[in-house]
Amino acid sequence: MEEGRENPEEKDFALVGTLYGIGVGPGDPELLTIKAARILREVPVIAVPTSYSDAGSLAMEVIAPILEERARAGRSPEIVSLLFPMTRDEGILRKAREENGALLLGALSRGDAAFVALGDILFYSTFGNLLTGLSSIRSPLPVEVVPGVTSFAAAAGRLVEPLVQGSERLAVLPAVYDPAEIEAVLDRFEVVVLMKINKVFGEVRDLLARKNLLDRSAFVAMVGRPEERISRTLDRLPPGAVPYMSLLVVRKNGWLTP
């Protein structure tokens, strides 16, 4: 341990607040739930994830109207940034979990705190990682979860396309899996949502072309935001134009709406 650095596991926090995990939806502030908005207008501390992606700053943009409202009323919350490194190194991840946990427990010793993240708070969210770090430091922990609209649910709405009908089966997975695993999922499920496609879009498009699924696939980026993009012609989409917040919806049975 570095000299002068406190071990978060050695500090005893007297908790007086509840930790709220709040999904703020895919990007449209109007998709924020009434319950989420109420809590965010009241909590003294709002924690936001930061990493090498821009997901944290986008979450803050979604709740910006609430923050502006509170600022006008002279009730601005304390904003706490929690770093979540984009790495698979377990040592780095463990250290980040402990440091983030200590920061939040410090806030909870003073009152309620809300952690915000895009989409749903428990669907591919850093909140699960955060809970792991918190439980290793302090358990039990008062936690309340406020679900949010997922990006793929919002994408289906923008496509005006049912995700699944009747006996169709749905699979949702990151496109960073091995191409062979993605192909196996495409073979087994009628509808597949591929997330995190920005770095592997060319490979995924080649796979879809080989399986004759290009015309049954839709690209949706930055759903619910002013820069939103939707395309059902993947062959015309340059890989370099695919932002981080992008996904593909693949319907093997074809589109159900005109």
Kindly state the average pLDDT of the residues 192-205: 93
pLDDT score recorded for residue 6: 43
What residue ranges do the domains of the chain occupy? 8-146, 151-251
Question: Mind listing the pLDDT tens digit for each residue in 85-114?
Answer: 777 788 888 888 888 888 888 889 889 999
Look up residue 77 and give its DSSP letter.
P
Question: Mind listing the pLDDT tens digit for each residue in 140-156?
Answer: 788 999 999 999 999 99
Q: What is the dihedral of CA 224, 194, 84, 58, to 10 degrees?
A: -10
Question: Mind listing the pLDDT tens digit for each residue in 73-88?
Answer: 999 999 998 888 777 7
Q: Which of the residue ranges 2-6, 72-76, 138-142, 203-207 would you say has the lowest mean pLDDT?
A: 2-6
pLDDT at 22 over 90: yes
Nearest to residue 15, comparing CAs of 82, 101, 116? Answer: 101
What CATH number should be reported for the domain whose range is 151-251? Answer: 3.30.950.10
pLDDT score recorded for residue 10: 42
Say if CB 102 and CB 111 are below 8 A apart: no
pLDDT score recorded for residue 30: 95
Q: Which of the residue ranges 159-168, 194-203, 236-245 would you say has the lowest mean pLDDT?
A: 236-245
CATH superfamily of 8-146: Tetrapyrrole methylase, N-terminal domain (3.40.1010.10)
- For tokens 């003294």, name the residue: 44
